Amino acid sequence: MSDLFRFSGAVRRHPEVEAWFSSDAPTRRVAEHWFARLRSLGEDVRELLHDGHPTACVDDAAFAYVDAFNAHVNIGFYRGALLDDPAGLLEGAGKRMRHVKVRWGAPLDEHALQALLVAAHAHMRSQVDAEA
């Protein structure tokens, strides 16, 4: 049995995700920027709205999500505990999940965050391929 978090409803562009980003909330603009980067990681990236926030999948296996709050945006990784994080961006203490908080007015190492996005996608791609 797979321990990947899979969604049969993940599609290339999901209308509920588009609707989520249609809000005027400024943090949603920040979240949309980072979700666009997730979308750009490959032709295998699919999406859906899960637990009220945009979730990116490799095929049908979730690897990342974004969520917007009043003072910050979370970029979460379903297998974040397994990612190399030399810049120390990841937060959380769960068995698998980690997230990065993008805070208003706080410096952000965008290159390190982009590297985490790429690593999360590559890791999930390898996991999906291993189960095929």
- pLDDT tens, position by position, 1-47: 578 999 999 999 999 999 999 998 999 999 999 999 999 999 999 99
Question: What DSSP character marks residue 5?
Answer: -
Q: Rounded distance, CA 127 to CA 74, Å? A: 24
Write the CA distances from 98 to 6, 79, 113, integer angstroms.
18, 7, 13
- pLDDT tens, position by position, 103-115: 988 999 999 999 9
pTM as predicted = 0.95
